Chain A
Amino acid sequence: MQKLLIVVCVGVGAAICATAAISAEDLVAAVKERRDLMKKTVAPAAKLGGQMVKGVKPFDAAEAAKAMNEINGVPDKYVTLFPKGTEHGGIADKQIPDPDDQSEAKPEIWDNFDDFKAIAMKLKDASAKAASAAEQGKGTFTAAFKDMTKVCKECHESYREKLDD
Protein backbone atom coordinates (compact mmCIF):
# COMPACT_ATOMS: atom_id res chain seq x y z
CA MET A 1 0.00 0.00 0.00
CA GLN A 2 1.28 3.39 -0.86
CA LYS A 3 2.94 5.50 1.76
CA LEU A 4 2.20 9.13 2.02
CA LEU A 5 4.92 11.33 3.34
CA ILE A 6 3.93 14.52 4.97
CA VAL A 7 6.83 16.79 5.58
CA VAL A 8 6.33 19.39 8.20
CA CYS A 9 8.87 22.14 8.12
CA VAL A 10 9.23 24.63 10.88
CA GLY A 11 11.46 27.52 10.06
CA VAL A 12 13.41 28.72 13.08
CA GLY A 13 16.50 30.38 11.69
CA ALA A 14 17.85 27.35 9.95
CA ALA A 15 14.93 25.15 8.97
CA ILE A 16 14.22 22.22 11.20
CA CYS A 17 12.31 19.60 9.34
CA ALA A 18 10.36 16.90 11.03
CA THR A 19 9.16 14.10 8.88
CA ALA A 20 6.14 12.09 9.79
CA ALA A 21 4.99 9.11 7.85
CA ILE A 22 1.24 8.58 7.70
CA SER A 23 0.17 5.47 5.92
CA ALA A 24 -2.92 5.28 3.81
CA GLU A 25 -4.19 2.72 6.34
CA ASP A 26 -4.22 5.42 8.99
CA LEU A 27 -6.27 7.68 6.74
CA VAL A 28 -8.74 4.88 6.02
CA ALA A 29 -8.98 4.22 9.75
CA ALA A 30 -9.73 7.90 10.40
CA VAL A 31 -12.56 7.88 7.87
CA LYS A 32 -14.00 4.73 9.39
CA GLU A 33 -13.74 5.98 12.93
CA ARG A 34 -15.45 9.29 12.26
CA ARG A 35 -18.16 7.70 10.14
CA ASP A 36 -18.79 5.19 12.90
CA LEU A 37 -19.12 8.02 15.40
CA MET A 38 -21.83 9.55 13.24
CA LYS A 39 -23.58 6.34 12.23
CA LYS A 40 -23.33 4.35 15.43
CA THR A 41 -23.38 7.02 18.11
CA VAL A 42 -24.91 10.25 16.82
CA ALA A 43 -27.51 8.86 14.43
CA PRO A 44 -29.25 6.46 16.87
CA ALA A 45 -29.19 9.08 19.63
CA ALA A 46 -30.58 11.77 17.34
CA LYS A 47 -33.24 9.36 16.15
CA LEU A 48 -34.32 8.54 19.68
CA GLY A 49 -34.48 12.21 20.69
CA GLY A 50 -36.15 13.14 17.44
CA GLN A 51 -38.81 10.49 17.74
CA MET A 52 -39.73 11.81 21.17
CA VAL A 53 -39.92 15.34 19.80
CA LYS A 54 -42.00 14.26 16.83
CA GLY A 55 -44.27 12.21 19.06
CA VAL A 56 -43.41 8.87 17.49
CA LYS A 57 -42.14 7.68 20.89
CA PRO A 58 -43.33 8.74 24.34
CA PHE A 59 -41.10 11.33 25.96
CA ASP A 60 -38.76 9.91 28.58
CA ALA A 61 -36.57 12.51 30.26
CA ALA A 62 -33.84 10.12 31.36
CA GLU A 63 -33.61 8.41 27.96
CA ALA A 64 -33.59 11.75 26.17
CA ALA A 65 -30.83 13.11 28.40
CA LYS A 66 -28.79 9.96 27.93
CA ALA A 67 -29.08 10.21 24.15
CA MET A 68 -28.05 13.87 24.14
CA ASN A 69 -25.08 13.11 26.38
CA GLU A 70 -23.96 10.48 23.90
CA ILE A 71 -23.95 13.09 21.18
CA ASN A 72 -22.15 15.45 23.52
CA GLY A 73 -19.23 13.02 23.78
CA VAL A 74 -18.57 13.03 20.04
CA PRO A 75 -17.39 16.47 18.80
CA ASP A 76 -14.06 16.65 20.66
CA LYS A 77 -12.94 13.34 19.22
CA TYR A 78 -14.61 13.90 15.87
CA VAL A 79 -12.60 16.95 14.87
CA THR A 80 -9.32 15.09 15.45
CA LEU A 81 -10.27 12.58 12.75
CA PHE A 82 -9.75 14.80 9.71
CA PRO A 83 -6.18 14.32 8.51
CA LYS A 84 -5.49 15.70 5.05
CA GLY A 85 -6.19 13.12 2.38
CA THR A 86 -9.50 12.07 3.91
CA GLU A 87 -11.69 14.35 1.84
CA HIS A 88 -14.20 12.78 -0.53
CA GLY A 89 -12.30 11.22 -3.43
CA GLY A 90 -8.99 11.67 -1.66
CA ILE A 91 -6.18 9.25 -0.86
CA ALA A 92 -8.20 7.38 1.74
CA ASP A 93 -11.21 6.88 -0.54
CA LYS A 94 -9.02 5.25 -3.17
CA GLN A 95 -8.38 2.47 -0.64
CA ILE A 96 -12.04 2.03 0.34
CA PRO A 97 -13.83 -0.31 -2.04
CA ASP A 98 -17.38 0.14 -0.73
CA PRO A 99 -18.71 3.55 -1.72
CA ASP A 100 -20.98 3.58 1.30
CA ASP A 101 -17.91 3.60 3.50
CA GLN A 102 -16.12 6.37 1.67
CA SER A 103 -15.61 9.89 2.93
CA GLU A 104 -18.41 12.44 2.67
CA ALA A 105 -16.15 15.28 3.74
CA LYS A 106 -16.06 18.25 1.38
CA PRO A 107 -12.60 19.64 0.66
CA GLU A 108 -13.88 23.00 1.97
CA ILE A 109 -13.41 21.59 5.49
CA TRP A 110 -9.66 22.03 5.12
CA ASP A 111 -10.05 25.53 3.67
CA ASN A 112 -12.04 26.59 6.72
CA PHE A 113 -10.94 24.23 9.42
CA ASP A 114 -11.53 26.77 12.21
CA ASP A 115 -15.10 27.27 11.10
CA PHE A 116 -15.60 23.52 10.86
CA LYS A 117 -14.26 23.08 14.38
CA ALA A 118 -16.38 25.94 15.66
CA ILE A 119 -19.53 24.22 14.40
CA ALA A 120 -18.45 20.99 16.09
CA MET A 121 -18.07 22.90 19.35
CA LYS A 122 -21.54 24.38 18.82
CA LEU A 123 -22.82 20.82 18.63
CA LYS A 124 -21.14 20.10 21.93
CA ASP A 125 -22.88 23.08 23.54
CA ALA A 126 -26.23 22.41 21.91
CA SER A 127 -26.26 18.74 22.90
CA ALA A 128 -25.34 19.64 26.50
CA LYS A 129 -28.21 22.11 26.56
CA ALA A 130 -30.58 19.53 25.13
CA ALA A 131 -29.47 17.02 27.77
CA SER A 132 -30.23 19.41 30.62
CA ALA A 133 -33.41 20.62 28.92
CA ALA A 134 -34.70 17.05 28.94
CA GLU A 135 -35.07 17.24 32.71
CA GLN A 136 -37.39 20.21 32.34
CA GLY A 137 -39.94 18.41 30.26
CA LYS A 138 -40.87 17.77 26.67
CA GLY A 139 -41.50 21.36 25.65
CA THR A 140 -38.09 22.58 26.76
CA PHE A 141 -36.42 19.54 25.27
CA THR A 142 -38.18 20.03 21.95
CA ALA A 143 -36.89 23.58 21.63
CA ALA A 144 -33.35 22.56 22.59
CA PHE A 145 -33.41 19.58 20.24
CA LYS A 146 -34.49 21.79 17.36
CA ASP A 147 -31.68 24.22 18.14
CA MET A 148 -29.25 21.32 18.00
CA THR A 149 -30.68 20.22 14.66
CA LYS A 150 -29.84 23.66 13.28
CA VAL A 151 -26.20 23.05 14.15
CA CYS A 152 -26.32 19.69 12.33
CA LYS A 153 -27.76 21.49 9.33
CA GLU A 154 -25.16 24.25 9.39
CA CYS A 155 -22.39 21.70 9.06
CA HIS A 156 -24.17 19.46 6.55
CA GLU A 157 -24.91 22.48 4.39
CA SER A 158 -21.30 23.51 3.93
CA TYR A 159 -19.15 20.50 4.67
CA ARG A 160 -20.96 17.27 3.92
CA GLU A 161 -20.86 15.81 0.44
CA LYS A 162 -23.99 13.69 0.36
CA LEU A 163 -23.33 11.94 -2.88
CA ASP A 164 -25.96 9.36 -3.26
CA ASP A 165 -29.27 10.55 -1.95
Chain B
Amino acid sequence: MSRAWWWALLALAIAGAIVFYLLTIPKTLPASALPAHKPDLANGEYMFIAGGCAECHAVPVDKCKSTRVRDKHALAGGRCIKTAYGIFNVPNISPDKETGIGKWTTLDFVNAMKRGIGPGGTHLYPAFPYTSYQHMTYEDLIDLKAYLDTLPAVQNEVPPHQLTFPYNVRRGVGLWQLLYVDGKTFKPDPKASEEVNRGAYLAKGPGHCGECHSPRNFVGGTIASEAYAGARNPEGKGRVPNITPSHDGIGDWNAEDIAYFFETGNTPEFDVVGGLMAPVQDNLAKLKPADRAALAAFLKSLPPRPDAVPKKNKSGRDNGDDDDGGNAEGDTGQQDGTE
Protein backbone atom coordinates (compact mmCIF):
# COMPACT_ATOMS: atom_id res chain seq x y z
CA MET B 1 0.00 0.00 0.00
CA SER B 2 1.23 3.44 -0.80
CA ARG B 3 1.96 6.03 1.79
CA ALA B 4 -1.12 8.03 0.74
CA TRP B 5 -3.34 5.08 1.61
CA TRP B 6 -1.86 4.84 5.05
CA TRP B 7 -2.57 8.50 5.63
CA ALA B 8 -6.14 8.04 4.47
CA LEU B 9 -6.62 5.11 6.82
CA LEU B 10 -5.17 7.06 9.70
CA ALA B 11 -7.45 9.99 8.94
CA LEU B 12 -10.43 7.64 8.84
CA ALA B 13 -9.48 6.11 12.17
CA ILE B 14 -9.13 9.53 13.75
CA ALA B 15 -12.45 10.66 12.28
CA GLY B 16 -14.05 7.47 13.60
CA ALA B 17 -12.62 8.04 17.05
CA ILE B 18 -13.92 11.61 17.06
CA VAL B 19 -17.40 10.51 15.99
CA PHE B 20 -17.36 7.78 18.66
CA TYR B 21 -16.28 10.33 21.23
CA LEU B 22 -18.98 12.81 20.25
CA LEU B 23 -21.75 10.21 20.13
CA THR B 24 -20.83 8.82 23.52
CA ILE B 25 -20.53 12.07 25.45
CA PRO B 26 -22.46 11.39 28.66
CA LYS B 27 -25.90 12.95 28.47
CA THR B 28 -26.69 14.13 31.94
CA LEU B 29 -29.53 16.14 33.38
CA PRO B 30 -28.90 19.60 34.81
CA ALA B 31 -29.73 20.38 38.43
CA SER B 32 -32.63 22.47 37.13
CA ALA B 33 -34.33 19.25 36.00
CA LEU B 34 -35.04 18.36 39.61
CA PRO B 35 -38.38 19.63 40.93
CA ALA B 36 -38.63 21.16 44.39
CA HIS B 37 -39.82 18.19 46.39
CA LYS B 38 -39.61 17.32 50.05
CA PRO B 39 -38.54 13.67 50.23
CA ASP B 40 -41.18 11.24 51.47
CA LEU B 41 -39.29 8.38 53.15
CA ALA B 42 -42.30 6.07 53.28
CA ASN B 43 -42.75 6.37 49.53
CA GLY B 44 -39.00 5.95 49.10
CA GLU B 45 -39.17 2.64 50.95
CA TYR B 46 -42.13 1.63 48.82
CA MET B 47 -40.14 2.36 45.65
CA PHE B 48 -37.22 0.39 47.10
CA ILE B 49 -39.52 -2.61 47.44
CA ALA B 50 -41.27 -2.13 44.09
CA GLY B 51 -37.91 -1.59 42.40
CA GLY B 52 -36.35 -4.75 43.80
CA CYS B 53 -33.07 -2.97 44.63
CA ALA B 54 -32.15 -5.52 47.28
CA GLU B 55 -32.44 -8.51 44.98
CA CYS B 56 -29.29 -7.48 43.17
CA HIS B 57 -27.51 -5.13 45.57
CA ALA B 58 -27.92 -6.77 48.99
CA VAL B 59 -25.01 -8.91 50.14
CA PRO B 60 -25.61 -12.37 48.71
CA VAL B 61 -25.37 -15.55 50.76
CA ASP B 62 -23.16 -17.14 48.12
CA LYS B 63 -21.73 -14.69 45.65
CA CYS B 64 -22.84 -16.17 42.35
CA LYS B 65 -24.93 -19.19 43.04
CA SER B 66 -28.29 -18.39 44.55
CA THR B 67 -30.80 -15.59 44.86
CA ARG B 68 -30.58 -15.58 48.65
CA VAL B 69 -29.37 -12.48 50.43
CA ARG B 70 -28.13 -11.88 53.96
CA ASP B 71 -29.96 -8.68 54.80
CA LYS B 72 -32.19 -6.82 52.37
CA HIS B 73 -31.13 -3.52 53.86
CA ALA B 74 -27.37 -3.96 53.58
CA LEU B 75 -26.81 -2.96 49.96
CA ALA B 76 -23.07 -3.60 49.90
CA GLY B 77 -23.14 -5.46 46.58
CA GLY B 78 -20.86 -8.34 45.70
CA ARG B 79 -23.33 -10.56 43.87
CA CYS B 80 -21.99 -11.75 40.57
CA ILE B 81 -24.19 -12.06 37.53
CA LYS B 82 -22.91 -14.31 34.78
CA THR B 83 -24.05 -13.21 31.35
CA ALA B 84 -23.11 -13.68 27.72
CA TYR B 85 -21.05 -10.48 27.99
CA GLY B 86 -18.99 -11.60 30.95
CA ILE B 87 -19.39 -11.36 34.69
CA PHE B 88 -20.96 -8.34 36.33
CA ASN B 89 -20.00 -7.70 39.92
CA VAL B 90 -22.92 -5.85 41.45
CA PRO B 91 -21.77 -2.59 43.03
CA ASN B 92 -22.12 -1.37 46.58
CA ILE B 93 -24.98 1.15 46.75
CA SER B 94 -25.02 1.47 50.51
CA PRO B 95 -24.37 5.01 51.79
CA ASP B 96 -20.73 4.22 52.55
CA LYS B 97 -18.70 7.23 51.45
CA GLU B 98 -15.66 5.34 50.17
CA THR B 99 -16.99 2.10 48.69
CA GLY B 100 -20.69 2.87 48.29
CA ILE B 101 -22.68 5.81 46.96
CA GLY B 102 -22.51 7.93 50.11
CA LYS B 103 -21.00 10.83 48.21
CA TRP B 104 -23.65 10.88 45.50
CA THR B 105 -25.94 13.86 45.36
CA THR B 106 -29.60 13.48 44.51
CA LEU B 107 -28.77 14.73 41.03
CA ASP B 108 -26.06 12.06 40.69
CA PHE B 109 -28.60 9.45 41.68
CA VAL B 110 -31.23 10.73 39.27
CA ASN B 111 -28.68 10.75 36.44
CA ALA B 112 -27.81 7.14 37.17
CA MET B 113 -31.47 6.11 37.22
CA LYS B 114 -32.68 8.20 34.28
CA ARG B 115 -29.57 8.43 32.12
CA GLY B 116 -27.39 5.48 33.06
CA ILE B 117 -24.55 7.88 33.89
CA GLY B 118 -22.62 7.74 37.14
CA PRO B 119 -20.79 10.67 38.78
CA GLY B 120 -17.87 11.90 36.68
CA GLY B 121 -19.65 10.90 33.47
CA THR B 122 -19.16 7.14 33.86
CA HIS B 123 -21.38 5.12 31.56
CA LEU B 124 -23.18 2.48 33.58
CA TYR B 125 -23.85 -0.93 32.13
CA PRO B 126 -27.53 -1.68 31.52
CA ALA B 127 -27.38 -4.82 33.67
CA PHE B 128 -28.52 -2.07 36.02
CA PRO B 129 -32.02 -1.66 34.56
CA TYR B 130 -32.06 2.11 34.12
CA THR B 131 -33.77 1.38 30.82
CA SER B 132 -36.84 0.87 33.04
CA TYR B 133 -36.01 3.14 35.98
CA GLN B 134 -35.67 6.09 33.56
CA HIS B 135 -39.47 6.12 33.36
CA MET B 136 -39.89 6.80 37.09
CA THR B 137 -41.06 10.21 38.22
CA TYR B 138 -38.54 12.63 39.70
CA GLU B 139 -40.51 12.65 42.92
CA ASP B 140 -40.31 8.86 43.30
CA LEU B 141 -36.57 8.98 42.56
CA ILE B 142 -35.92 11.75 45.07
CA ASP B 143 -37.87 9.75 47.68
CA LEU B 144 -35.95 6.60 46.87
CA LYS B 145 -32.59 8.37 47.18
CA ALA B 146 -33.61 9.78 50.55
CA TYR B 147 -34.64 6.32 51.71
CA LEU B 148 -31.39 4.70 50.52
CA ASP B 149 -29.52 7.35 52.53
CA THR B 150 -31.16 6.02 55.71
CA LEU B 151 -29.86 2.46 55.20
CA PRO B 152 -26.67 1.23 56.88
CA ALA B 153 -23.38 2.24 55.28
CA VAL B 154 -21.39 -0.92 54.65
CA GLN B 155 -17.75 -0.80 53.65
CA ASN B 156 -17.19 -3.31 50.88
CA GLU B 157 -14.96 -2.80 47.88
CA VAL B 158 -16.51 -4.69 44.96
CA PRO B 159 -14.09 -5.76 42.21
CA PRO B 160 -14.67 -4.36 38.70
CA HIS B 161 -16.77 -6.25 36.16
CA GLN B 162 -15.00 -8.94 34.17
CA LEU B 163 -16.37 -8.41 30.69
CA THR B 164 -15.13 -9.56 27.33
CA PHE B 165 -14.16 -7.25 24.45
CA PRO B 166 -15.87 -5.15 23.15
CA TYR B 167 -18.23 -4.99 26.13
CA ASN B 168 -15.40 -4.01 28.44
CA VAL B 169 -15.13 -0.68 26.61
CA ARG B 170 -17.35 1.26 28.97
CA ARG B 171 -17.64 4.25 26.74
CA GLY B 172 -19.27 2.04 24.11
CA VAL B 173 -22.32 1.84 26.35
CA GLY B 174 -22.93 5.43 25.24
CA LEU B 175 -23.75 4.21 21.73
CA TRP B 176 -26.21 1.69 23.13
CA GLN B 177 -27.77 4.40 25.26
CA LEU B 178 -28.49 6.43 22.11
CA LEU B 179 -30.90 3.66 21.17
CA TYR B 180 -32.49 2.79 24.49
CA VAL B 181 -32.19 5.69 26.89
CA ASP B 182 -34.10 8.94 26.69
CA GLY B 183 -34.80 9.61 30.35
CA LYS B 184 -38.45 10.32 29.62
CA THR B 185 -40.80 9.92 32.56
CA PHE B 186 -43.76 7.59 32.08
CA LYS B 187 -46.76 9.31 30.55
CA PRO B 188 -50.21 7.90 31.33
CA ASP B 189 -52.21 6.75 28.35
CA PRO B 190 -55.30 8.98 28.27
CA LYS B 191 -57.31 6.14 26.73
CA ALA B 192 -56.51 3.70 29.52
CA SER B 193 -58.07 3.61 32.98
CA GLU B 194 -56.34 5.11 35.97
CA GLU B 195 -55.80 1.59 37.31
CA VAL B 196 -54.15 0.35 34.12
CA ASN B 197 -51.95 3.44 34.03
CA ARG B 198 -50.84 2.89 37.62
CA GLY B 199 -50.02 -0.72 36.79
CA ALA B 200 -48.18 0.32 33.63
CA TYR B 201 -46.11 2.80 35.63
CA LEU B 202 -45.17 0.22 38.24
CA ALA B 203 -44.37 -2.43 35.61
CA LYS B 204 -42.44 -0.22 33.19
CA GLY B 205 -40.74 1.95 35.78
CA PRO B 206 -39.72 0.62 39.20
CA GLY B 207 -40.91 -2.97 38.65
CA HIS B 208 -38.79 -3.36 35.48
CA CYS B 209 -40.84 -6.46 34.52
CA GLY B 210 -39.86 -6.27 30.87
CA GLU B 211 -36.15 -6.59 31.64
CA CYS B 212 -36.70 -10.32 32.10
CA HIS B 213 -40.09 -10.96 30.48
CA SER B 214 -39.41 -9.21 27.15
CA PRO B 215 -37.12 -10.74 24.55
CA ARG B 216 -33.96 -8.95 23.46
CA ASN B 217 -32.47 -8.32 20.04
CA PHE B 218 -28.87 -9.00 18.99
CA VAL B 219 -27.55 -5.82 20.61
CA GLY B 220 -29.27 -6.67 23.87
CA GLY B 221 -32.14 -4.19 23.69
CA THR B 222 -35.66 -5.30 24.54
CA ILE B 223 -37.95 -5.72 21.53
CA ALA B 224 -40.94 -3.42 21.96
CA SER B 225 -43.18 -5.26 19.50
CA GLU B 226 -42.76 -8.44 21.53
CA ALA B 227 -42.89 -6.88 24.98
CA TYR B 228 -43.74 -9.30 27.79
CA ALA B 229 -43.97 -12.25 25.40
CA GLY B 230 -41.30 -14.16 27.29
CA ALA B 231 -37.57 -14.41 26.82
CA ARG B 232 -34.54 -16.51 27.47
CA ASN B 233 -33.49 -16.69 31.05
CA PRO B 234 -30.76 -14.04 31.28
CA GLU B 235 -28.95 -15.95 33.99
CA GLY B 236 -29.27 -19.55 33.05
CA LYS B 237 -31.13 -22.22 31.29
CA GLY B 238 -34.67 -22.14 30.09
CA ARG B 239 -37.13 -19.36 29.51
CA VAL B 240 -38.83 -16.57 31.33
CA PRO B 241 -42.58 -16.93 30.79
CA ASN B 242 -44.80 -15.02 28.42
CA ILE B 243 -47.04 -12.85 30.62
CA THR B 244 -49.33 -11.47 27.94
CA PRO B 245 -52.97 -12.60 27.92
CA SER B 246 -52.51 -15.15 25.13
CA HIS B 247 -52.74 -18.91 24.79
CA ASP B 248 -48.97 -19.16 25.18
CA GLY B 249 -49.01 -16.65 27.99
CA ILE B 250 -51.37 -16.32 30.92
CA GLY B 251 -54.57 -15.77 28.97
CA ASP B 252 -56.40 -18.27 31.15
CA TRP B 253 -55.59 -16.33 34.33
CA ASN B 254 -58.09 -13.64 35.26
CA ALA B 255 -56.97 -10.40 36.90
CA GLU B 256 -57.77 -11.80 40.36
CA ASP B 257 -55.61 -14.85 39.65
CA ILE B 258 -52.69 -12.64 38.70
CA ALA B 259 -53.08 -10.42 41.77
CA TYR B 260 -53.40 -13.54 43.92
CA PHE B 261 -50.18 -14.90 42.44
CA PHE B 262 -48.43 -11.63 43.32
CA GLU B 263 -49.78 -11.85 46.86
CA THR B 264 -49.20 -15.55 47.58
CA GLY B 265 -46.90 -17.02 44.93
CA ASN B 266 -49.66 -19.48 44.03
CA THR B 267 -50.63 -20.00 40.40
CA PRO B 268 -54.29 -20.83 39.64
CA GLU B 269 -53.22 -24.50 39.76
CA PHE B 270 -51.51 -23.84 43.10
CA ASP B 271 -48.07 -24.50 41.86
CA VAL B 272 -45.68 -22.26 43.79
CA VAL B 273 -43.34 -19.64 42.36
CA GLY B 274 -39.62 -20.36 42.23
CA GLY B 275 -36.35 -19.28 40.67
CA LEU B 276 -35.66 -15.62 40.02
CA MET B 277 -39.34 -14.74 40.36
CA ALA B 278 -39.45 -15.93 43.98
CA PRO B 279 -37.76 -12.85 45.49
CA VAL B 280 -39.70 -10.62 43.08
CA GLN B 281 -42.95 -12.10 44.36
CA ASP B 282 -41.77 -11.51 47.94
CA ASN B 283 -41.67 -7.83 47.03
CA LEU B 284 -44.99 -7.88 45.21
CA ALA B 285 -46.57 -9.37 48.32
CA LYS B 286 -45.53 -6.22 50.22
CA LEU B 287 -47.20 -3.80 47.82
CA LYS B 288 -50.63 -2.33 48.45
CA PRO B 289 -53.45 -4.60 47.26
CA ALA B 290 -54.59 -1.82 44.92
CA ASP B 291 -51.15 -1.79 43.28
CA ARG B 292 -51.15 -5.56 42.81
CA ALA B 293 -54.57 -5.23 41.22
CA ALA B 294 -53.27 -2.39 39.03
CA LEU B 295 -50.34 -4.52 37.83
CA ALA B 296 -52.76 -7.34 37.05
CA ALA B 297 -55.07 -4.95 35.15
CA PHE B 298 -52.08 -3.69 33.17
CA LEU B 299 -51.04 -7.23 32.21
CA LYS B 300 -54.60 -8.03 31.15
CA SER B 301 -54.58 -4.89 28.99
CA LEU B 302 -51.54 -6.01 26.97
CA PRO B 303 -51.95 -7.26 23.43
CA PRO B 304 -51.98 -11.08 23.50
CA ARG B 305 -48.75 -12.33 21.97
CA PRO B 306 -47.39 -15.74 21.04
CA ASP B 307 -44.21 -16.85 22.77
CA ALA B 308 -41.23 -14.80 21.63
CA VAL B 309 -38.97 -17.73 22.40
CA PRO B 310 -40.55 -20.92 21.10
CA LYS B 311 -41.17 -23.63 23.63
CA LYS B 312 -38.44 -26.17 23.30
CA ASN B 313 -37.76 -29.27 25.14
CA LYS B 314 -34.91 -29.38 27.54
CA SER B 315 -32.34 -30.80 25.20
CA GLY B 316 -33.03 -28.02 22.74
CA ARG B 317 -35.18 -29.88 20.21
CA ASP B 318 -38.58 -28.58 19.28
CA ASN B 319 -41.42 -30.00 21.22
CA GLY B 320 -43.80 -29.78 18.30
CA ASP B 321 -47.11 -27.97 18.30
CA ASP B 322 -49.11 -30.92 19.53
CA ASP B 323 -47.55 -30.79 22.92
CA ASP B 324 -48.70 -27.26 23.37
CA GLY B 325 -52.40 -27.84 23.50
CA GLY B 326 -54.78 -29.67 25.76
CA ASN B 327 -53.55 -30.94 29.04
CA ALA B 328 -49.91 -30.65 27.99
CA GLU B 329 -50.42 -26.93 28.59
CA GLY B 330 -50.31 -27.76 32.25
CA ASP B 331 -46.93 -29.37 31.90
CA THR B 332 -45.28 -26.56 30.07
CA GLY B 333 -47.19 -23.82 31.77
CA GLN B 334 -47.18 -22.68 35.34
CA GLN B 335 -49.44 -25.37 36.55
CA ASP B 336 -47.64 -28.53 37.42
CA GLY B 337 -46.28 -29.12 40.87
CA THR B 338 -43.03 -30.80 40.07
CA GLU B 339 -39.84 -30.72 42.05
Chain A contact-residue range equals 35 or more
Contact string against A for B residues 237-250, beta-carbon threshold 8 Å, 1 for contact and 0 otherwise: 11101000000000
Given contacts A108-B66, A164-B238, A165-B333, contact A153 B339 (CB under 8 A): no
Contact present for A165 and B265 (CB under 8 Å)? no
Q: Of B77-85, B272-280, B286-294, which stretch is located at the interface? A: B272-280
Task: Give bound CA distance, A116 to B332, whole Å.
Answer: 25
Q: Would B337 and A39 count as touching, CB distance under 8 A?
A: yes
Inter-chain contacts of B336 with A (CB < 8 A): 38-39, 43
Q: Is A43 within 8 A of B271, CB to CB?
A: yes
> Interface residues of B, CB < 8 Å — how many?
39
Q: Are B319 and A99 in contact (CB under 8 A)?
A: yes
Q: Does A54 contact B (CB under 8 A)?
A: yes
Q: Is A163 close to B, CB under 8 A?
A: yes
Say yes or no: A158 contacts B67, CB within 8 Å.
yes
> Residues of A contacting B338 with CB < 8 Å?
35, 38-39, 43, 104, 160
Chain A residues positioned under 8 Å from B28 (CB to CB): none
Among A72-88, those with CB < 8 Å from B are 88
Nearest residue in A to B276 (C-beta to C-beta)?
Answer: A157
Contact, CB under 8 Å: A47 / B278: no
Is there an interface contact between A35 and B339, defined as CB atoms closer than 8 Å?
yes
The contact of B275 among A99, A102, A162, by CB within 8 Å, is A162
Known: A43-B271, A108-B66, A165-B332. A149 touches B314 (CB 8 A): no
**Number of residue pairs A-B, CB distance < 8 angstroms:** 115
Q: How long is the Cα–Cα vector from A42 to B88 in the complex, in angstroms?
A: 38
Instruction: State the CA gap A34–B339 with chains docked (Å).
Output: 8
Closest to A98 in B: B313
Chain A residues whose C-beta falls within 8 Å of the C-beta of B331 in the assembled complex: 100
Nearest chain B residue, comparing its CB with the CB of A155? B274
Binary contact readout A46-79 vs B (1 if CB under 8 angstroms, 0 otherwise): 1101110010000000000000000000000000
Chain A, Cβ-Cβ closest to B61:
A158
Nearest Cβ in chain A — how far from B177, in angstroms? 33
* Interface assignment of B161: CB less than 8 Å from any CB of chain A: no
Residues on B with beta carbons closer than 8 Å to the beta carbon of A100: 313, 323, 328, 331-332
Cβ-neighbour of A164 out of B265, B278, B311 (below 8 A) = B311
Chain B positions 260 through 303: 1 when the CB is less than 8 Å from some CB of chain A, otherwise 0: 10001110011111110011010000000000000000000000
Bound-state CA distance A159–B67 (Å) is: 11
A49 CB → nearest B CB, Å: 8
Determine the distance from Cα of A100 to Cα of B324 in the docked complex, in whole angstroms: 11
Inter-chain contact A165/B278, CB cutoff 8 Å: no
Residues of A within 8 A of B65 (CB): 108, 111
| Alpha-carbon gap, A74 to B278, bound state (A) | 23
B68 located at the interface, meaning its Cβ lies under 8 Å from any Cβ of chain A in the complex: yes
Q: Is the CB of B271 within 8 A of A164?
A: no
Q: Which B residues are CB-close (under 8 A) to A43? A: 269-271, 336-338
For the complex, would chain A's binding face be called helix, strand, loop or mixed by DSSP majority? helix
Could you tell me the distance between the alpha carbons of A97 and B338 in the complex, rounded to whole angstroms? Answer: 18
B97 at interface, CB cutoff 8 A: no
B215 to chain A, nearest CB (A): 16
* Complex Cα gap A39–B337 (Å): 5
Q: A46-B337, A100-B332, A104-B338 are in contact. Are A156 and B273 (CB under 8 A)?
A: yes
Give A99 to B317 CA distance when docked, in angstroms. 9
Closest Cβ neighbor of B323 among chain A residues: A100
Chain B's nearest CB lies how many Å from the CB of A74?
Answer: 11
By a CB distance below 8 angstroms, the chain A residues around B332 are 100, 164-165
Contacts of B333 in A (CB 8 A): 165
Q: Confirm or deny: B312 has a beta carbon within 8 angstroms of a beta carbon on chain A.
A: yes
Within the complex, what minimum Cβ distance (angstroms) separates B60 from chain A? 12
Chain B residues, CB < 8 A from A39? 336-338
A149–B285 alpha-carbon span in the complex (Å) = 13
Q: Are A158 and B66 in contact (CB under 8 A)?
A: yes
Distance between A91 CB and nearest chain B CB, rounded to angstroms: 13
Q: Which residue of A lies closest to B238 (CB)?
A: A163
Assess whether B156 is interfacial by the CB under 8 Å rule. no
Q: Is A161 in contact with chain B by the CB < 8 A criterion?
A: yes
* Extra A-B contacts (14), CB below 8 Å, given A149-B264, A158-B67: A38-B338, A43-B270, A51-B270, A99-B319, A102-B314, A104-B338, A105-B339, A108-B66, A153-B273, A153-B278, A157-B274, A158-B68, A162-B274, A163-B239
A-B contact pairs, 8 of them (CB 8 A): A35-B339, A50-B270, A111-B65, A157-B66, A157-B273, A157-B278, A160-B338, A165-B332
Closest 10 CB pairs of A and B: A156-B274, A43-B337, A99-B313, A50-B270, A157-B278, A163-B238, A152-B272, A104-B339, A99-B314, A47-B270
